[in-house]
Structures are given as C-alpha cells and as structure tokens.
Amino acid sequence: MPELPEVENARRCLIKAELPGRAFTKADIGWAKSVKTPDLEEFALGLRGGVVQDVHRRGKYILLPLVNGESETRTLILHLGMSGGLSVQPRTNPMHPLVRHTFSLDDGRELRFEDGRKFGKIWLVSDPSEVLPPLSPDPLEGGLTPQVLAKSLEGRNAPIKALLLEQSIVAGMGNLYADESLFLAGINPTRSAAGLTGEEIDRLQQSIVNALTASIEKYETARDESWPDPPRALTGWTHPRTEGAPCPRCNGPFTGTRVRGRGTYYCPKCQG
C-alpha cells in the first residue's frame, strides 16, 4: 500500500511532470464508485476548465487546488488506495492495463490514475476539510514533535504499532514504515503505548522522521535516474519482513506476528 514516501514521491513526480499550470479538459472515470463527492455528472462538469495551481499532500492524500474562471476554486483530492499510481503522459502513449481513470489536460497529455484493486478514491470539493479525516501534523514538516506524539499516545493502552497506523496520530504512516520506525527506535511493536517512557517516545519520533526521510531520499535519486518512468515502489526499509531472518543489528532471528490483523516483524532481542 502506498505510504507517506510513495505518496510524496507521486506528488513530486506530478510537479516534475509540470502538471501545475495545466487545465483539465475532460474526465473519464472508469469505476464510478471511486468518485465520492460530488455525483459523476457534477464532478465532470466541475473539473472541466480547472487550472491546477499546485500539488499538495496531506498524509496519504494528494490535493490539487484548481481555479476555474475568476473566482471559483475547488480541490481535486486523490487517494491511491491499496495499489494506486499516478502519471502524466502524452495521450498517444500506450495505456497501462490498470489505468482506471484518465483526466485530459489542455496540452495533449493526461493524468492517468492506475487502480487495479479499485480502492482508490476521488473527491472534488470547495473545502478539503469537508472530506479529509483528522490528520496529525505532517512528520516531514516538523509539526509532529515528541510532545505532540506523546500527547496523542497519552492514556492509550493499545499496542504502539496499532496506534502508529492511526492517521490522526501519524499522518501518512502505514504498515511497513510503522515496523521500520519501531525497529530503528528499538521498541517492541506489541508494547502498550501508555507504557512508553518519555525517552522512548523521543526516540520513536526521531525514528519515524528518519525512516520516512531516508525512503524519500531513495525515491529522489531513483526519480532523477529513471525519469520519465520512475519507480513507484522501492524497498525503503532496513528491517527484514520474514520470520527467522537475521536481524541487521544483532544477527538474531526476527519474529513475525500480527498486531490488529497487520503483519508485524521485529527483533525480540533489539526491540525490548
């Protein structure tokens, strides 16, 4: 599933492809249920003529503010779901079989939304706060301080791994980077959040930022090296995701378990 580094990579790719400044001329929606707001007819009408002002990200959501005419502003919001991907391509390029939706642009190209598993979501709204869930400050923008993290974990007895996946606690976090952050911080994913010390929360906050930043840097290099066809999924984490695999730190065997149904891998020796 695309997590913060993948969505941030998608955002930077859209900017590099010079999507800002272009206007949408038409939307071809291949799976009607993907469009959450408004209804399909209004969506197609509302999108037409909208000039993309910028590409923002909030957690795992891509936001494209659009200006249409003199005053009307709306925001196209895209969520990549379980396996979605975005690209801007000339209309004449062969269509990837998993492209579900295409948004034509005024320069002969189109924004293509691949979504094989149909978990992607699309909104067109005047005010993004109408549809976005509560999201923590972005871990990459400095707002997710150890104090903010400590406050959201206060009194929560659930396993720390489960809480890291709540978008109101760490916006953009997903299963892989939650495990990676806990590995870097040396914290057992099954521990109760309320039982973490202040020092452990400091370490966890730093590890979250480090894990996400390291991955984004890998995407940065890969994007430049393989443009215009950059990779969408890189193995950006350092811990193994196989039971019994050697720990990169102590060489002892990794353990696999499930925390709230999500596959979770950790070193029982290094993550006390």
Q: Name the site residues for Zn ion (rule: CB under 5 A).
A: 247, 249-250, 252, 267, 269-270
Catalytic residue among 223, 262, 268, 269: 262
Catalytic residue among 22, 57, 60, 203: 60
Minimum CB separation of residue 244 from Zn ion in Å reads 13
85 burial via Cβ count (<10 Å: 0-12, 13-18, 19+): buried
d(Cα 164, Cα 212) in Å, to the nearest integer? 13
In the bound state with Zn ion, the residue whose beta carbon lies nearer, of 77 and 267, is 267
Minimum CB separation of residue 240 from Zn ion in Å reads 10
Residue with tokens 């408004």: 38
Minimum CB separation of residue 252 from Zn ion in Å reads 5
Q: Tell me if residue 156 is catalytic.
A: no
Other Cβ atoms closer than 10 A to 72: 12
d(Cα 189, Cα 94) in Å, to the nearest integer? 44
Task: Give CA separation, 23 vs 27, 47, 87, 141, 236, in Å.
Answer: 12, 9, 16, 29, 34
In the bound state with Zn ion, the residue whose beta carbon lies nearer, of 83 and 188, is 188
Q: Tell me if residue 161 is catalytic.
A: no
d(Cα 75, Cα 148) in Å, to the nearest integer? 28
Contact 160, 220 (CB under 8 A): no
Three-state secondary-structure class, residue 185: helix
In the bound state with Zn ion, the residue whose beta carbon lies nearer, of 1 and 270, is 270
End-to-end Cα distance, the chain: 28
Minimum CB separation of residue 173 from Zn ion in Å reads 22
d(Cα 129, Cα 138) in Å, to the nearest integer? 16
Minimum CB separation of residue 73 from Zn ion in Å reads 51
Q: Phi/psi of residue 25, each to 5°?
A: -110, -20
Catalytic residue among 2, 139, 189, 230: 2
In the bound state with Zn ion, the residue whose beta carbon lies nearer, of 228 and 248, is 248
Q: Tell me if residue 248 is catalytic.
A: no
Q: Tell me if residue 249 is catalytic.
A: no
Catalytic site positions: 2-3, 60, 262
